[in-house]
Structures are given as C-alpha cells and as structure tokens.
Structure 1
Amino acid sequence: MSLRSRPVLDRKHRPRWQDELRTQQLTVIAFAVAIALALGIFGAAAWNGYWESHFRPVAAVAGTTYDRADLSERERIMTAEAISAITELQAQLGGPRDELIQQQIDSISQGFNSLTTNAAQSLVDRAVLSAQVDEFGVSVSDAELAAGLADRLTLRELVNANLILVEALPADAEPDDEPTDAQRAEAQAAAQATLERVEGGEDFATVAAETSDDFTASVGGSLGWFEADDPAYGEYFDALADADEGDLVGPIETERGAAVLELVTRREATSEGGLGEVLRAQGVDEATYRDYVRGELLVDQLHDHFEDEVVTATAPQQRVAQIFIAAPVSGTVVPQERSRHILVQPDPELEDQAEATDEQWDAALSEAGEVQVLVEATDADWFTIAEEHSDDTGSATRGGDLGWYDPANPGFVPEFAAALAELGVGEVSDPIRTDFGYHVIQKSGERESPQAQAADLVEQLRADPDTFAEVATRMSEDHETARDGGELGWVAPYQLSAALEEAVFGLSEVGEISDPIDAGTEGITIYQLLESSDGVEIEDDRLEQIRSSGFDRWLDDEVRAPVETWIDPQFASTTA
C-alpha cells in the first residue's frame, strides 16, 4: 500500500468545475453570514424596543425599581381619570356656568401635556408614602378603600333646574346687611305670586325673566346641572329631593330671600359607564386601580395626621415685624428711585379734569396746600392722609406709594417727572398741576439694587433696632403690614416658606434683626423679633390656613425627604 499523498493540482491545472463550485460555496456562506447579521441586528433592535417600553428603569424608591411598564400603567390610570372627568363636565354644558365649566375642562386637558412626568412623580410619591406609613401610624382600612373606590367609580346624582329668586334685601343694601323678618315675609309673598303665575299656565322662563333677582333671569332662570355639594346651589338640590320632572317647588326660604324651583330633569347616581368603563378601555384591571386608590387615600390619611398631630391649636411661636422688598418687575437691575404722592382732583367724578371749573381747580389747589403741610409734619401718617385726601384710587390704599422706577425713564407725565427730578430723598414738593389734578410728591427712596438696599437696611437697623417700625412704615412694600410698623404678628411652624420660617425661628433675642432672606422673584424679607413663646393659641382662620398651605411642605420635609428616591431625568418634572 502506498502512503503517499494524493497529488494536489495547482490552480493552473485545476478543473474548471472545481473553481465554480468553490465560488458558489463562498457566495452561499457570504449570504448566510449577511442574513445572520441582519437577523441579529433586527432581533437586537426588536429586543431593545421591547426593553425600552417594558423593562427600562424609570424610577427607584428605597431600593425598589419601577420600570417603563409600571409608568405606562400609571399613565393609563391617570388618562382614564382625566377622560372621565372631562366627559362628566362636558355633559353639564348648556347652562349659565358654561364658561366656568369650560375652564375646568381646559385645565384638566392641559394635564395631558405633562402626563408622563406627572405619572412618574405619582409612582415615586405613592411608593414613598407607602414606605412611611408605619413611621406616622397611618393606614387605609378596607372600609375606607371601598368608600374611596365607590366615590370614584360612581357618577353622582345631578339635577337640572330652573329658578326664580326674590331677594329679601333691596338692591342698595350693604354687603353685611341682614334681612328683617318683614323683608323676608315680603320676599315670600312675592315668590308665591310668581309660583301662582306659573301654575296658572304662564311660561316659567318668561316669569323668571320678568321677576327673578338672580343673574339667571337673563336665561329664563336656567341653573343647568348641579349636584348635592354644589357651593352655590346645594340648598336647591335638597329642596328638589322628592320632585319629579316638571314639578314646581316653593317658595322656599333661602339665605338671600325666597325661591321657586322647577325640576327640568334628573340623572340618578349610577355605577354604569363613567370611570369604570374608561378604565376598562385603557386596560386597567380592578386590582391595579384598587392599589392606586389606596395610595391616593394615604395622602388623605397623612393630611389628617398633619392636622391632628403636627399643627395643633397651641404651638411655639415667634411674634415678628417685617420689611418686605419686592423683586424688580424687569430682569435688569438699574439704579432706581421711589416716590409717593397725594392726588387732589378738582372733580373726582369727571373722567377728564379739563372739564372742571376754575373754582374747582382753585379749591383743589387749596386742599393740596393743606396736604403738603400734613405730609411735611415729622409724624406724618401717609397711609391715613392718602386714604382721606388722595383721589388716586390705585395708590390711596398704599399710602400714596408709586413704587420703584428708573429715573432715566420714570414713566410719569412730564410735569410730575420734572418736579420729582428736583427732589432729594425725603423732600416734599409744592403742589404740582398735571392734567389729573394737583400732586403733592415725595421722593421716598433710592437704591442701586434691591439686594444693596436690603444690606444697607440691615446694617442701619442693627445699629438702631428701635427704628424698625418707622423704617418699615416708610420702606416696606407690603403695605398691609407697613402701616402697622411692619408687624406681621405671631408666626407658627409651617405658616411660612421653609427659608422664611428658618429665619424667623432663628431669632432668639427680642429686637434681633435677621439677615435678608432673598427669595428671588418673590422678593426680599427682613425680620425683627418682637416676642417669643413656647405656646400660643393659633386663631381658627390662621390655623386653617396653615393646615392647608403647610401640608405639602411637611410632606416634602418630613415624609419624602428621608426616603432615597431616583427618577430618570427624561421623566422627571423640571419644576419639581
């Protein structure tokens, strides 16, 4: 046997069929590789798209990650709630409050522009609250959850009615006037007369147009649709409780007088349609929505905790005075001046003072001279003087203050601007005549910038704290407190913003002056401590205001802040 290798033919002597076969084999291999690459690229792209829409992390709370599928689910829930609310509002159009209803529809519709960011924040927020419930001892019971679900999934009872209202008070009554028994009896009798006209066959809309004192008289008394807790028409809803369509009810005594009602139609409360139907269309199942509502109800529970345990009727407080410096209207800060004036017009009833007589102009000049004497007095009270003498309704309640202006372009009429340019700070002009009347003007301040002004004031006040009230009256741009020497009164926790509260409660000595607190576009504030107490009762109105406005800050500071969170910047709100 021979072990020699088979002879290998060189390419020159190789048969042609072998070359063709080799070429075909290489071509097939190339096509196979290309197809494999294409399938790989396509598969990778498909997987990447699927991963992006389902598994991409969008947020994390305390180690738990939420992906794009979670976000999409939250978007569908919020979309369903918005669509349901808009649909319900649209069904109520066709009455005298259409403009208000349309504003509500537009407001809800605007939310679609930020749906994804709102949904991402909602995911994080509810996860944070769920993680913190034990810390604050709050929970949502099964009964509370069932009630919350029923409230959201049930279309409430609505009525559509017409109204004839007879006011008990005359048209020229003061806002605080209360009707007498005789006036109420007279209104009842007048309302009874309108009822008898309608019962006698007259058209309700015609009688309403002729006799009703309500603004709906112009539309035949139509109230449109309203529900039981309607702030304006709730009492009418109760009166129509047992009425059938077309029934007349009344006269009933109301806060304003006496009313006659006609029930046009009624929609009974129902769980059919409404939000439940929209949720199903959005692919949201009952269990998912139940979990969502539980998270929403946690906010209510935490709000109750805030009211009952955090903001109590008696709390440590600081009594302070303030000087407020408003931020400039324009973005560019230039050297500015400030002025105030008292305007005395010849005839305030005239739109054009050129129509006033010479005698009226002379009388105005005489009064302006008297005003000049008053404001030049050492203890001049510009607030009182302006309220008593100034015919400039815009500045009379602000002590005549005209605010800060650019001296190079003050924006005043020429005569006024020329007189002002001649004054030094604190100086008062003689009466200056313009087309508006006679002005007594004082240049009340000048500054390089609000920040420079605040720094100068703090330095001045710390050198002489006893002048705070006088300086506040003259310089503060919060006119309500300025007239009282800047006194703001007692301040409790969560009454102010975090930065302002920190400054107020950072004061420890009576008379101490705070650093300026610059809140950017919200202005600059300087405080002086007047009194401190470990426990002062908070009056009801202020307590209600704190419980309302302070809740979100408490949530941020005490509930959300301790929990580590992350939101993908693509889905994060730019205003959060």
Structure 2
Amino acid sequence: MAKTSRPAVVSRKQQSRVEKERQQRRIVLIVSITIAVAVILILGYGLLDTFYLQNMRPVATVDGEKITLEQFQARARFDRFQLIQNTIQLAQYQQLFQADPNSANYFTSQIQLNVSKLNDPNQLGNQVIDELINEAIIRREAQKLGISVTDEEVEKAFQEAFGFFPAGTPTLAPTATPFSTATYSAQQLTLAPYTATPTEAPTPEQIETTETPSDTPLPTATIGPTSTPFPTPTAMTEEGFKTGLENYLTTLKTEAQIDEKTFREIVRSSLLYEKVFEAITKDVPAEDDWVWARHILVATPEEAAVVVEALKNGGDFAQLAAQFSTDTSNKDRGGDLGWFERGQMVSEFENAVFDMTEIGQISEPVQTQFGYHIIQLLGKERRPVSESRLSTLKQQKFESWLNETKASLKIERDTNWVNKVPTVPTLPPGLGF
C-alpha cells in the first residue's frame, strides 16, 4: 500500500525569511527603476539644455527684451560670412593692383584686419552683441515712430541688390544743391589781387573720396545716370534674379548655416535701421558756414611774431606768404586756401578761422601740429554742405541719439557667449595669413 505524502511544513522562521527576501527584491527593483529614470531624466535634461535651453539663455537684455544665444550665434556666423566674402574681394583687388605698391599695401592691411577679427572670437563676439543691442534699441524707436518694414520692401531690397528693376532702371537724382556764387566785394578783390577768380566752394563731385570694397551681404548694383529721364529696361531678368538669389541663399545656408527666414530678418533689420536713421537725422541742416581764407605757416613762435609785426606795419600778406610760409602748396598764391567748410582743417585752425567775423581780419598765431599759422579771413557765408559733410553730420547726430538712448535704458550683458562664438564659416586656404 502506497504511502501518502504529507505537505511540507513551513516554519514561521522560514516564512519570515521568504518575506524578507521578497521585500529586498522589491526594494532593489524600485531602486533600479528610480536610478534608470533619474539617468534618463539627466540625459534628457542634458540634451534639452544643450540643444534648446542654452540657446534660449540671454547674452544681453535691453529693458527686458532678451537677446538669446541662438540669435547671437546666427548673427556671428553671418558676420563671419560677410567678413570672409569681403576678404576674398580684397584679395582680388590686391591681385588687380599688385603693380601699384601703395594700393597693394592698402588691400593687404585690410585683409590682415579682417583675418585678425576672424581669429579673435572675443572681438567678433563683442561686435555682434553691440549690433544686436543697437538693433533692439532701433526696434523700440521704430515702434514709437510707427515705422515698419514690409515683406515687399525686403523683396525689393533683394531685387535692387541683384540689379533687377521690374519697373525699369531708376535715374539718379542730382546730389548737389544749386546755390548762387557770391559776388565779391571790392575789399575782397583788393585783399586777394593775385587771383582773378577766388576759389569757389567745392561741389560733391569735386571732392575726392577713397572708396573701399563693400562688405554688404549682397552684391550692390552699380547705377549710372542715363541720357533720358525715363526708366530704361534692365539687363537683369526676373529669372536671372531668382536664380542669383537662390544660389546666394544656398551658399549662405551651406557655409554659414543661415536659412532664408533668418537672412530676411537680418535684411529687415538693416532696412529698419535706414528708416530710423533718416527719421532721427531729418533735421540736420543742409547748410553751414563756409569760409574763404589764406594763411602764412611758419615753424616757430618767433617767426610768427615777425610776420604779425610786419602785417601790423602795413606789410603785404601775399608777399609775406611768399617770403615766409612753409606751405609750398599755396605760398606762391598768397597763402590762399580757397573756400572750405567745417571738417576739412585740423581743429585748432578750424576753430580759429570759423570764429572770425570780419572780412580782412587777421588772427593771432594759431599753433597746430604743422606749426604756427597767421590766418586772414577773406570771405564767409552760408552754403549747402557737401554730401560727405552732410553724411558726417547725420552720423554724428545719430550716434549721439543712440548713446543717449542707451544711457536711459537698462542694458545688461551676460558672458555666457564666451567660448560659444561660432568658428564657421572658415577662410579659404591661403587667406588665413
């Protein structure tokens, strides 16, 4: 007869041990899950911080408006792209003018300045932050003045940059303001008998300017006056414009990681700057004092005293200029400097001559870096300022407004952009000397 099996008897001690082991396994499992979740969260936050949160942190604020690291890096890449394009253009000019040492040296120095900036992240970074702060201030002012830039204006800027004018190439408006030539008094003509016709005020076309290659983001169209006041057909077709723009945007995307939307906003900011600039500077007077003067330049105060004494005793200014003046450019013309406006002479000379009021008045010796000048005022009148002078005056007023506005706002700059300045795009081989 088979024996019947009895169920195993589990003691309380065994039950307690089994329960304890079960609890330990549960604790281990919970701890493992917690650690795994924590690791995932840490990794996830790290990725979130790297690819999003850091980009959203401000590098500067302008009265509460944040300028993010993402905006900073995009503009830094764009500025690098512009600098590189400008450097390539300068290198082409350098090759073109290599037979002229002065020109070649000038272009070489400009290339070196660009390369230095490209190789100095802090210099480029500070420049970019300054640009973005200025743009934030300009947006605030534009909003106050009711100024905006439409999408159509941005598109028109693209078209003009590529020389595409759907309505015909515009004609240039006259830049010089017409004015009546002064009628010279008998006193003036007596003072300066050595010249049949006193030197007239230089017009904007007569003033020499040194042009440097443009570093604008798009190629600039060259526009010249036409023989007819009516618009003339443009050589650039719409298809050609679209192709050129598409190629440029592709290059910008490939080399600088700048997409079309970002680039359009950069152009919009540039157009907004132009509008606000014009609004701020619209009251800059287009007329200013011009003077006609002559001088005798000597090296020492003792020589100046001799000339002054001779003039007081009735000496002829033109003869004394020929005898004593070290300014060989005009000593044989009686020291005649012609008509000039502010901004063309060194400050000490300029202050003295523009403070003079009476025709024929002779100054006390005026010391400058060139020596001692005895100046005689031959004429003074209001005339239109030259285009270059007007541009300078407008720039001075705008910078003054910008600095005053900055002082009135709460502007904070952070340093979290340091070590995060983009190093792309890079210079082509051979230009990074």
User: What TM-score, normalized to structure 2?
Assistant: 0.47
Q: Which has the higher contact order (CA 8 A, sep 6+)?
A: 2
User: What TM-score, normalized to structure 1?
Assistant: 0.37
Kindly indicate which of the two structures has a greater share of residues assigned to strand.
Answer: 1
